[in-house]
Amino acid sequence: MIHTNTLRNGLLVALLGSVALVGCKKDEPAVDTTATPAADTAPAAAPAPMTGAPPPMAEAASVNVASVTVGKSAAADKSVATTAMFAPKDEIIVSVRTDGAANNANVGAKLTFQDGQVAGEQSATLNTSGAETTNITFKNANGWPAGKYRAEVMVDGKAAGTPQEFEVK
């Protein structure tokens, strides 16, 4: 009887030891040290050198907003006299003066009412190699509600220039 218990205990210890070793074993990739590289495997070819001009990229706007002006009317040169007070039926012109070069840059303007609601949002495409003025005109057929507004400008989706505040009475 003692002999069977000893044998059973020995088997149990061996089984538990095997389970413990299997549980602790790391999975490592097998390495074949006898393998030789295949004869038909060629080294990777180096990329061909570029010739000529690089391909055209979507040109990032390298244009800076020099000034933002809000007014009622634009002169022939697109300049706008600053206006701080508007009537409900007035057109609101957000004039963006830029310096620099840009191809297909998106210049946007957003009017926000005092309660945070967007009162209008428009954009224009800017193609320039120097100083340029872009005017974005907002109209409201029903009239602008009385209150304070803020005009913000974005170039290619990024805030630019100094936001301007004005009022409608």
Sign, Cα dihedral of 123, 128, 130, 135? negative
Question: Residue 62 has what pLDDT?
Answer: 82
Residue 88, domain extent:
62-168
- Do the domain assignments include residue 26? no
Could you give the angle at the alpha carbon of 168 between the alpha carbons of 167 and 169, nearest 5°? 115
What is the model's pTM? 0.64
The answer to whether 124 touches 164, Cβ cutoff 8 Å, is: no
Joined together, the tokens standing for residue 105 give 């840059």
- Do the domain assignments include residue 40? no
Per-residue model confidence as pLDDT tens for the chain (169 residues):
444 555 455 544 454 455 444 455 444 444 444 444 444 444 444 444 444 443 333 344 588 999 999 999 999 999 999 999 999 999 999 999 999 998 999 999 999 999 999 999 999 999 999 999 999 999 999 999 999 999 999 999 999 999 999 999 9
- Do the domain assignments include residue 110? yes
Joined together, the tokens standing for residue 162 give 């100094």
Query: For the domain that residue 113 is a member of, what is the CATH number?
Result: 2.60.40.10
- Do the domain assignments include residue 27? no
- Do the domain assignments include residue 84? yes
Question: Residue 63 has what pLDDT?
Answer: 87
Q: In DSSP terms, which residues pair with 138 in a beta bridge?
A: 92
Question: Residue 42 has what pLDDT?
Answer: 45
- Do the domain assignments include residue 106? yes
- Do the domain assignments include residue 12? no
User: Based on the structure, what is the number of domains in the chain?
Assistant: 1
Question: Residue 33 has what pLDDT?
Answer: 45
- Do the domain assignments include residue 141? yes
What is the rounded CA–CA span in Å between residue 160 and residue 152?
8
Question: Residue 5 has what pLDDT?
Answer: 52
User: Where are the alpha helices (H) located in the chain, listed in sequence order?
Assistant: 2-24
